Structure 1
Amino acid sequence: HAIECRINAEDASKNFAPAPGSIGAYSEPTGPGVRIDSGVGPGGVVSPMYDPMVAKLIVWDADREQATARMLRALGEFEITELKTLIPFHKALLASDQWAAAETCRDLVEDKKWLKQLAFPKVEPSDSEEEEPKIERDYSVEVSGKRFEVKVIGAVLAGGGAAASNGGGRGAPKRRERSSGGAASSEELPSPLQGTVLKVAVEQGAEVEEGALICVIEAMKMENEITAHRSGKVEELTVTEGASVAAGEKIAKIV
């Protein structure tokens, strides 16, 4: 009996949305009855321009039960860091009662509540990041012929200088918001992935229900439906058809 698991760079908890990015550590499982077809390694990059497949993991054994046990062991030994993959999904599916009963498991694949349990943990800042030392520097600058005294507060850089604080200018918060999906408010709908907007299904000012289609984003040859995270009025709509959108970038504001 043989089983194949496709290790894709996708997030099952977000309806299998593509999750391109860079690979940190990478170590493949080995042993009798285990085969890997892959073309990546430590430090590799899964581009949003191509298919999200990282590797094919194939195992075989005398029967289904033993092959399942071997696959679960192989998935547990497969190490891929800094990149979201379907490894947790495969492990959960193979450990389910439906799989043990030789069912299709279609109900699990379509069960959004079950899939959300597979969400990747949020990365918390380390103690070293939280306690990063700050320094202050005073500078004299000239703007339009006028002289100003300014103070810069930031982290210590390798060369002894200071990195500018995010609060140092009016433009900084906007740049941070566009690059970080985790900073969005409960009213904002951020893009869960990087891609191209194929379709915008609503207009600014429209009333929508939770779960209503807002837009469709294409990434890695897959069309991903982005739905409203709450009911309300579309106060802002920041995407247009044919435009590119980054992961975490605001799509809409629903109030």
Structure 2
Amino acid sequence: ESEAFARAVIDAGLAWIGPRPETIAKLGDKVEARKIALKVGAPLVAGTPNPVRDAGEVLAFAEQHGLPIIIKAAFGGGGRGMKIAWRMDEVEELYHSAVREAVTAFGRGECFVEQFLDRPRHIEAQVLADTHGNVVVLGTRDCSLQRRNQKLVEEAPAPFISEGQRERIHSAARAICAEAGYVSAGTVEFLLSTSGAISFLEVNTRLQVEHPVTEQTTGVDLVMEQLRVADGLALSITETPKPLGHCIEFRINAEDVGRGFLPTPGPVACFEAPSGPGVRVDSGVHSGSVVPGTFDSLMAKLIVSGATREQALARARRALREFRIEGVASVLPFHRAVIEHSDFVGEQGFKVHTRWIESDFAEPLAAALRAEPQPDTSLVRTAIEIDGRRVQLGLPAMLLQGLAGASVATTQAAGSAQAVDPDAVLSPIAGNLHAWKVEDGAEVKEGDVIAVMEAMKMEMQVTAHRSGRIALAAQAGTAQALGAVIAHIR
């Protein structure tokens, strides 16, 4: 979603597949997108008309409209640069945190503020538009199952909404894209409150991760349509198609569900995807791949279709059981649990919302076991120089039993002491120690926020696991390995 990149492609004389650069700029600015939504009469909650200049303006908005409020990066997306304030005393810190995340992820820190709809569903409309004036809404998707405002499960068509709500979303999406002069594939996102109220969220000026569920339920190849539009042709369809069954997509991320969905970069020892009727897997890794810690944690997408939602769920259960990933933690245990949960299955009504994982999902999930590399104790290795070349020399440990034994014993004892040290504050992720929130030697209480970590362009708070006096063991701005000791509380 880069206006500059799109313009550079066009200026180079190449074919740009996507919306016009000026449209990307217009809709990528969420404040401007809100103005378009207001102009066409799309449903919308109260918000600031322009980016706020400081935390004081955020506080003023909260005092006028009440809490909770949401602070959002004006040029962001994907949950980054987005903070929810429930109390006045946390507004200032959350505002600065949102700005930092926005600058890190998008290069710009402008933020605006909206009223926050508590426990809403996330419903979006897939749109296609061509240069001949055709704007078609292919259908809806439900993307309510999220953690940290980033989607985990998506399905199409959006279940458990009325035809009136579906038509309201379709018409608003169509009007917004027409007013913006949109071309190519795009997604218009909305929130659906528990009272049934609908509010425009944003427009994603690209093909989204979850686009396969729309492809599976409409029979429309979205990439092919993008190519047709870029070639100056009209869309192959001109009206919303009738859904062809139901489809559910599960994002397979390298995250440890037992540790709060913390990213777990590293090597993938084994990657075995399922197959069978209705099962599609789009993957970016294989056995032997390495998941880096500097980018998104998505490894693959499991896309399961059926004639009905019930059949899609049954096929998904089997596929999730067959999926095997080793070497890095994954969200597979969560998916296997959620697909059996009554709130998601919907026998007594669909009860999932965008904060459902944090507030309602109570099923305990074990942290992933981490295989630690075992040192080769049969050899003692040392670096030596032979004929001007530096080489590694390995000597049998038995030849140096006295010295090697003492060294190994000391190392093992130190490692064991660290592993069971009740005072140690461990880094919950592999990432950057962005900032300390307490001074060295300060008294802290259990649950206090003591530090902020950053990984994959997301900020995460580190809290005190006990009360006492804290001794900092790592400097702000340094990279930390998962499980590294960053402080002690005694």
- Aligning the two structures, in what range does the TM-score lie when normalised by the shorter sequence? 0.7 to 0.9
Aligned match of 2:74: none
Aligned match of 2:447: 211
Equivalent in 380, 392, 403 of residue 152 of structure 1: 403
CA distance, structure 2, for counterparts of residue 182 and residue 18 of structure 1: 23
CA distance, structure 2, for counterparts of residue 113 and residue 188 of structure 1: 29
Larger Rg: 2
Is the aligned partner of 1:191 residue 2:439? no
Structure 1 SS opposite 2:422:
coil
Once the two structures are superposed, what CA deviation does each residue of 1:54-84 show, in whole Å capped at 9, x if it has no partner?
Answer: 1011111122222111111111111111210
- Between the two structures, name the one with larger relative contact order (CA 8 Å, sep ≥ 6): 1
Aligned AA (2:295): Y
Aligned AA (1:252): A
Q: From the two aligned structures, give the one with the greater helix fraction.
A: 2
Aligned match of 1:166: 408
Alpha-carbon deviation of 1:105? 5.6
CA distance, structure 2, for counterparts of residue 187 and residue 36 of structure 1: 44
How many correspondences in the alignment? 224
Q: Which runs of 5+ in 2 are unaligned?
A: 1-245, 380-395
CA distance, structure 2, for counterparts of residue 231 and residue 173 of structure 1: 29
Aligned match of 1:26: 271
Structure 2 SS opposite 1:36:
strand
TM-score (norm 2): 0.42
Aligned 8 A contact 2:334 2:365 in 1: no
Structure 1 SS opposite 2:477:
coil
CA distance, structure 2, for counterparts of residue 40 and residue 84 of structure 1: 14
Once the two structures are superposed, what CA deviation does each residue of 1:99-121 show, in whole Å capped at 9, x if it has no partner?
Answer: 12222165651159936533224
Once the two structures are superposed, what CA deviation does each residue of 1:111-138 show, in whole Å capped at 9, x if it has no partner?
Answer: 599365332246699xxx8xx9898635
Q: 1:241 to 1:57 in 2, by over 3 A?
A: same
Equivalent in 101, 118, 134 of residue 366 of structure 2: 118
Q: CA RMSD in A?
A: 3.1
Aligned 8 A contact 1:59 1:71 in 2: yes
Aligned AA (1:198): H
CA distance, structure 2, for counterparts of residue 184 and residue 222 of structure 1: 29
Once the two structures are superposed, what CA deviation does each residue of 1:183-214 show, in whole Å capped at 9, x if it has no partner?
Answer: 15111011121111222111111121212112
Aligned match of 1:246: 481
- Structure 1 segment 1-255 matched on structure 2, within 5 A: 1-101=246-346, 102-104=350-352, 109-111=357-359, 114=362, 116-121=364-369, 137=398, 151-153=402-404, 165-168=407-410, 172=411, 177=415, 183-234=419-470, 236-255=471-490
Q: 1:182 to 1:36 in 2, by over 3 A?
A: farther
Alpha-carbon deviation of 1:92? 0.8
Alpha-carbon deviation of 1:167? 2.4
TM-score (norm 1): 0.77
Structure 2 SS opposite 1:166:
helix
CA distance, structure 2, for counterparts of residue 151 and residue 242 of structure 1: 41
Structure 1 SS opposite 2:403:
strand
Aligned 8 A contact 1:23 1:82 in 2: yes
Aligned 8 A contact 1:15 1:115 in 2: no
CA distance, structure 1, for counterparts of residue 310 and residue 325 of structure 2: 26
Q: 1:11 to 1:242 in 2, by over 3 A?
A: same
Aligned 8 A contact 1:33 1:60 in 2: yes
CA distance, structure 2, for counterparts of residue 97 and residue 181 of structure 1: 44
CA distance, structure 1, for counterparts of residue 424 and residue 264 of structure 2: 20
